[in-house]
Structure 1
Amino acid sequence: MGEFVEQSLESLLPTFEQLSHVQLFTESEVNAFVKRCRQFEYRLNKQEKTPRDFDLYAEYLCDFLKLLKSRRTKMQYWHKLKLIDRPMCKKVASIYRRAADRFQGDLHQWEKLINFLKEHTMRRELAAAYTRALQIHGRNENLRREFALWQFFSAASPQNARTQILASLRLFPESAILYSAFFTIEIHFVEKVLKRRKFITKKRGDHKHGSDDSDAERVYDEEVDDSIMNLDVAKAVVEQAISAVPRGAVSGMLVEMWKECNKVELVPNIDTVRTFITEKLKEFDNEDTRLFEIEAACKEGTSRFDAFDAALSKTPTERMHRLYLQWLRESSSKDGFCDMKIRSLLRSICDGDWMTENDWRDLEGCMQEAEEEFDESFIEKCLEKRPQSAIFWSTFLEKRLRSNVALDEFRDLCNRALEKIDPEESFPIWQHAIDHSILFAPNEVEQVFYDAMKKANTSVASKIKILFVDYLSQLLEDGKITPEQLKDRLMELVNSKPNSGEFYCHVHRKVLERASPDTKFAGFVLKSAVIEECATVEAVILFAKWTMKYDISNFHVVHQTGLKLFKGAELDEFVVKWTQLVQDAAVEAIKNERRVDKAKKKKVEKKTSMKKKKCSCNSQNTSKNKGVKENKKRRGLLRKYKSPNKAARTRQRS
C-alpha cells in the first residue's frame, strides 16, 4: 500500500516544490499539506472504500485551491499556473472520476465530477465524463438536456447538440424539458449566426483580431437554410411540443420558451414566435399562465409583489401560493415586508388545508417572531389541526392569560395542553400556569410549583426548580421570608433528586448574589452536584472558582474530580476551560502583586518626600539664624568704626 501511496504523491512532487519555491506557502505549510495528502491517499488505497473517502480528499484539495487563489490575489502573483494550479485540478478531477467509476450507480458522484470540470473549464475531460455518464444513466432526462446545452453553448458544436437532443427525444417523446432545450438551441443558433455575419461584414479597418475571431465562432460561417434563419424550425418545434407533451406540462414549457425568446436580441422574426407562444398560453388558465402574466407585468415596470398579488387573486390555488412563497424565500431583498408576506401566505395555506410538516414548522417559527399578527381564533384552528404543537399551545395560553380568563378555565386549558404535547416540551405550559397563579391565586403558587416538579420529567422539573429559586429569591427581597427560611427551602430543593447541573449553578449564583451571601452553603450546593456526578463543566469550573477563594486546599481535588467525571468532548471542554481559569488566576495574581508593589512604592516615596521637607525646613531655620548673627556682627562693627569712644574723642579735642 505504501508504494502506491508514494507513487501517487510523486506525481505532485513538482507542484509541492514550486509552492515553496515561489513562496506562496511557507515550508511548514507545504509539509503539513503533503502530510495531509498522504493520509488521504492511504484512505483511498485501503481495501474497502466509501464515497466519503473520495469526497473528503477532493474537498480538501478544492479548499486548498481556493486558498491558493486568495494567496495569489493577495501577492498579485499569477505565474506558473501550469506548474501549480493545473496539476492540482487534474488531481481533483481524477479523484472524482475514480469515485464515479467505482460507484457508477450513484448519479450524485457523476454530478460532482461534471460540476468540477465545468467550473475549471476542462472541456476534453468534461466531454468524456458526459459520454460515460450517459452510458450508465441514459434514462436521465436532465443529464441529456445538460449535455446538449453544453455542446451548444460551451463546446460550440451546434450539430452535436442537435444530434443529442433529437436522440433524447426519441427516448422521451413526451419530455417538456427536452423540447424546451431544443427550442433554446434553435433560436440561439440563429442569433449566433447573425452576430457572426455582422462581425464579418464590418470594414477591415474597424476589424480587430480578438476573441470574436476564434475557431469556435467560425462554426457559424457556413450557409444556413432560410427555414432555420426565419425561425420556421423553431416554430415547428413549438407546435410539435404542444401536440406531444401532456396537457398538464404544456403551459410550463411554453412559459420557459417565452422567457428564452426575451433573451434573444438580433433575430428579426422572434416577435412572431413570441406572439405565437403568447396566444397558445392564453388558452390555458392556470398557474403557468399567471407566471407568464407576472413576467410580462414586471417587464413593463410593475412591482413583482403587486404582480404576484394580482395573480394570487385570480388563481388562489395551492401551487400559486407555493410559487409566491418560493419567490419570497429566494428573494435577495429580505426585509420586514417579505417576512410579513411569508406569514400571510402561510396563514392562507393553513386556511386552505394544504399544510405539510415543513409548513407547520415554518408557521411555528413565524408565530414566535410575530405573535401579535395571529389572533386567538386562528391559533385555536391551528390547535384543532395540530394539537401536539407546544408553540401553538404556549401562544394560545399567553393570549388567554392577557384576557384575564377565569382560574378554573385556564387550568383546564393547561391540563389539555399537557395531555397533547410531548413531555419534553411542557415547560412553557407550566410557566404560564405559574404566572396565572401569581396574578390571580398568589396563595396557591407554591402548590403549583410542587405539582409541576412532581408531574414533569427530569429536564423540565429542573427548569421549574430554577424558576422556583427565582421566585423564592424575590420573596426574600420583598421581606416575605427570612434568609433562614430561604436556606431551608433551597436545601429541600437540592435534596430532592434528581437535579440538573444548570440547577446547581443557578442556586450557587443566587446565593452569592445576595447582600450577605452564605459562602459555605454556596460551596455545599456545587459539592453536592459533583458528588452526584450530575455536574456539568460549568458547575465544576464554578466550584473551582469557589475553592480558589474560600477553600484553596481542595483546588487540586476539583481538578482530579473533573478529569474523572468527564469523557470525550466534555473532557476537552473541561481541559480548555480549566486552563483558561488557571491562566486568568495567574494574570490576576500578577496584577494584584503589581498593585501591592505600586502601593508600597508610593508609600515609600511619600515618606521620603516628608523627610526631605523636614530637612529643608531645618536648613532654612539654621540659615536664617546664621544670617541674623552675621547681621548683628556687621552692625556691631559698623558702630565700632562709626562711633568712637569718649576717650578717643577727648584726645582729639586736646
Structure 2
Amino acid sequence: MAEFVEKRCQDMIPELEQMEKLKLFDKKEIRSIAKKLKEYEYKIQRHTKTKEDYLRYIQYEMDLLKLIKQRRDKYGITQKRSVIDYGITNKMNNLYKEAISKFQDDIRFWVAYMKFCKHVHFHSNINHMLGRMLQVHRDKPKCWHIAAYWELEENKNKHSARQYLLRGLQIHPNSQLLYTDAFKLELDNRFATTSANAENSEKEGHIDPVPTTDDSEIPVPLKTAFFIYQQAFDRIKDIKFIIVLLNITNEHDNTKPLQLKIICDMIREYAHEPLMWDTLARRELQGLAQPVSDTATESENADQKSLRARITSCNEVYQTAIKKIKTVEIWSLYIECLLEINRDLRLLPNLKRKLLKTALMQAHRVKKLKEEHYLRWIDILNADKESNKNDEGMRKKLDEVLQGATDVLPNSVGIWHARLNHLLQCDLEKEAYAIFPEVTDKFGEKALPLWKLRFLHAQLKSWDEVEESYQAALKYPSIAKDVKASWLEWLVLTKGIRAARKAYDDLYLQPLTSLEFHKKMISLELIQPEIMSKYVRRPYEMAIMHFGTHDTSIWLDYIKYEMQYGEPKKASDIHERAVKTLDSSLTYSFIRDYGLIMAKPDSIK
C-alpha cells in the first residue's frame, strides 16, 4: 500500500512544482498541501475504506481548486491551466469513479458525481454514468427520474427522456413520480408529437394503455398524455395523486377536454372522498372547466362568470358534498375554503360573511366543527357583539355557541378559555367561577391559563376578589405549584413583605412546590430597602432541600448572594455542601462554574 501511495504522490509533484513556480502558493503552503494529499491517499488506500474518506478528499480537492482560481484572478495568472486546473479536476473525476465503484449502493455518490460533471462540463461522462446507475439502481424510481430529468433539462433530448420514463414505468408500474414526470413531458411536448409518434411509442411496448373511458373527444395532441393518465388512474388508487395530475393540466393551455375526462373519472371513482369534492368546489371558485349537462352553459366562457356566480357555485358544490359525506373532514375543507374567501372583503363582503356564518352554524348543529374553526367563529361572534353592544340576541347566540362548543369538545382548553372569558366579560362571575372546579379536575395543570384569566379579571374588580381567586386556586395542588410564585408577588405589592413572608412559611411546607416559587421569594427579599440575611437564606435553604440534588443554579446563586450581600466566607461552605449533595453527573459543571465566579468576584451582579 505504501508503495502505491508514494507512486500517486510522485504523480502529483509536477502540479505542485508548477503551482510554486507560478507563485500561486509559497514553499510552506506547497509542503502543507503535499502533506494533506498524502494523508488522504493513505486513508483511501486502507484495507477498510469509508465513504467519508472519499468525500473529505474530494471536498479538499474542490476547495483547493477554488483557492487556485481566486489566486489566479487576484494576481492575473493564466498560465498552465491545462496542467494544474485540469489535473485537479481529472483527479476529482477519478476519485468519484473510485467511490462509486466501491460504494455503488449509495445513490448520493451518483448524484454528486452528476453535479460535478455538470459543473466542469464533463457531459459525456454523465451519459455513460446514467446507464451504469440504472443497471445498479433500476429498483429505485428516483434514479429513472434523475436520468429523464438530465436528458430533458441538460441535453434537451425529449425522446431520450421519454424512453427513460417509459422503461422506468415498465419496472415500476405504480410509481407516482414517474407517471407525473411522463404526464408533464407529454403535455409540454403535445404539439410536437404527431399521432404517428404516439403510435410508435405504443409499439415500443413501454406503456400499454388500457382505455377505461371513451377517448373520442380527446384531441390528437393530447392523446399520449391521456393514455399515460389512464394508465396511472387504473394503476394508482389515490385521489391526491389524481388531483396532482389534474392540477398539472391547469398549468397548460388547451387542455380542457383532458381536464373534463379526469374530473368525470374522479366523480365516478372517488365520490366518497372529501378531497374530490373540495377540488370540484375550488375549481368552481376559480372558474375552471367543469363537466355540465347544459350545453349552453357549457359553452359559456368561465372567465366571464361573475365573482358572485363563482362563489355561489363553489358553495353549492360543498352543500352537495356535506349531504353525501357526513365527516369532520369535508366540513373542515368547506370552512377553510370560506375562510380563504373571507380574507378579501373588498368585494361582496355581505355574501362572503353570510356563507361563512351559515356553514359554521350548520357544522355546529351536526357536531362536525373542529376546535380551530370554533375559535375562529367565536372571534367573529365577539366582533359582532362589540359592534352591536346593545343587541341581547348577539350575546345569547354567543352563549349558545360557547356552551355547545364545550359540549362537543369538552377536552379543549382553548374552547373553555373562550367560554370563561365571555362569562367574565359579561360580569357573570358566579356562573364562571362555578365552572373552575370542573375544568381543574379535568385538565389538571393544563388549566393554569384558565386560572390566569380569572386572576386578571379579578384584578380589575377588587383586591378581595383577587385574594379569593388565589385562595381558590391554592386548593388544587396541580395548579398551586405554578400559582404560588405570583401569589407571593401580589402580596408584596398589595400588603407588604411581611404578608408575603407569612404566606411563604405556610406554602413551602405544602407538597408540589416549584424552584420558581423559592426564587421568587428570594428576589422579593432582595428588592427590599433593607436586605435581611436571615430572611434571604431561608428560601435558599428550602430550595436546596427540595432541588439541590439536580439543579446547580440555586447553589451558584446562593454563593453569589453571600459574596455580594452576606458573608463571603460562607461561600466555601456552600461549595462543599453542593459537591456532596449534587448528582455526580453535575459535579464537574458546578465546580467549573464555581471556579469562574471565584476567578472574577467583581463581575457578580
Judge same fold: TM > 0.5, yes or no: yes
Q: Of residues 412, 420, 435 in structure 2, which corresponds to 1:413? A: 435
Match of 2:571 in 1: 555
Match of 1:238 in 2: 225
Q: Distance in 2 between matches of 1:504 and 1:127?
A: 72
Q: Distance in 2 between matches of 1:415 and 1:468?
A: 19
> Does the aligned pair in 2 maintain the 1:364–1:391 contact within 8 Å?
no
1:288–1:131 distance in 2 versus 1, CA, 3 Å: farther
Q: 1:512 and 2:516 equivalent?
A: no
1:525–1:281 distance in 2 versus 1, CA, 3 Å: same
Counterpart of 1:237 in structure 2: which amino acid?
Answer: T
Q: Deviations over 1:374-399 (max 9, x none)?
A: 96655555534443333333343233
RMSD over aligned CA atoms reads: 6.5
> Does the aligned pair in 2 maintain the 1:255–1:291 contact within 8 Å?
no
Q: Of residues 472, 477, 482 in structure 2, which corresponds to 1:456? A: 477
Match of 2:245 in 1: 253
Alignment of 1:17-56 (within 5 A): none
Q: 1:491 and 2:501 equivalent?
A: no
1:511–1:291 distance in 2 versus 1, CA, 3 Å: same
Q: Distance in 1 between matches of 2:169 and 2:7?
A: 46
Counterpart of 1:257 in structure 2: which amino acid?
Answer: T
Q: CA deviation at 1:475?
A: 2.8
Q: Distance in 1 between matches of 2:12 and 2:435?
A: 70
Q: 1:466 and 2:485 equivalent?
A: yes
Match of 1:527 in 2: 541
Q: CA deviation at 1:60?
A: 12
Identity over the aligned pairs, expressed in percent?
Answer: 13
Structure 1 residue runs of 5 or longer lacking an equivalent are: 103-109, 194-223, 263-270, 478-482, 589-654
Q: CA deviation at 1:365?
A: 10
> Does the aligned pair in 2 maintain the 1:321–1:349 contact within 8 Å?
no
1:190–1:354 distance in 2 versus 1, CA, 3 Å: same
Q: CA deviation at 1:507?
A: 0.6
> Does the aligned pair in 2 maintain the 1:507–1:525 contact within 8 Å?
yes
> Does the aligned pair in 2 maintain the 1:169–1:178 contact within 8 Å?
yes
Q: CA deviation at 1:161?
A: 2.3
In structure 2, the residue corresponding to 1:426 is in which secondary structure? helix
Counterpart of 1:277 in structure 2: which amino acid?
Answer: L
Alignment of 1:65-214 (within 5 A): 101=105, 110=107, 112-113=108-109, 116-117=112-113, 119-120=115-116, 121=118, 124=125, 128=129, 132=133, 138=139, 140=141, 144-171=144-171, 178-186=178-186, 188=188
> Does the aligned pair in 2 maintain the 1:162–1:182 contact within 8 Å?
yes
Alignment of 1:533-548 (within 5 A): 533-534=547-548, 536-547=551-562, 548=564
In structure 1, the residue corresponding to 2:508 is in which secondary structure? helix
Alignment of 1:215-614 (within 5 A): 227-228=196-197, 234-241=221-228, 243-246=230-233, 252-259=244-251, 261-262=252-253, 271=254, 274-277=255-258, 280=261, 286-288=277-279, 313=315, 315-316=317-318, 318=329, 380-407=403-430, 409-421=431-443, 423-434=444-455, 449=470, 452-457=473-478, 460-477=479-496, 483-534=497-548, 536-547=551-562, 548-562=564-578, 565=582, 572=589, 575=592, 579=596, 583=600, 585-586=602-603
Q: Deviations over 1:424-466 (max 9, x none)?
A: 4232234345556667796586576456445324xx4332110
Q: CA deviation at 1:573?
A: 8.1
Q: Distance in 1 between matches of 2:584 and 2:309?
A: 58
Q: CA deviation at 1:76?
A: 7.0
Counterpart of 1:515 in structure 2: which amino acid?
Answer: P
Q: CA deviation at 1:489?
A: 2.5
Structure 2 residue runs of 5 or longer lacking an equivalent are: 78-83, 200-217, 268-276, 289-301, 322-328, 347-351, 385-397
Counterpart of 1:397 in structure 2: which amino acid?
Answer: L
Match of 1:593 in 2: none
1:555–1:6 distance in 2 versus 1, CA, 3 Å: farther
Q: Distance in 1 between matches of 2:375 and 2:586?
A: 31
Q: Deviations over 1:205-238 (max 9, x none)?
A: xxxxxxxxxxxxxxxxxxx978459998742213
Q: Distance in 2 between matches of 1:306 and 1:91?
A: 64
Counterpart of 1:456 in structure 2: which amino acid?
Answer: P
> Does the aligned pair in 1 maintain the 2:560–2:604 contact within 8 Å?
no
In structure 2, the residue corresponding to 1:552 is in which secondary structure? coil
Q: CA deviation at 1:522?
A: 1.3
1:440–1:130 distance in 2 versus 1, CA, 3 Å: farther
> Does the aligned pair in 1 maintain the 2:579–2:587 contact within 8 Å?
no
Counterpart of 1:579 in structure 2: which amino acid?
Answer: L
Q: Which structure has the bigger radius of gyration?
A: 1
1:313–1:296 distance in 2 versus 1, CA, 3 Å: closer
Counterpart of 2:224 in structure 1: which amino acid?
Answer: V
Q: Distance in 2 between matches of 1:143 and 1:396?
A: 55
> Does the aligned pair in 2 maintain the 1:379–1:396 contact within 8 Å?
yes
Q: Deviations over 1:115-139 (max 9, x none)?
A: 5456544764697478646755637
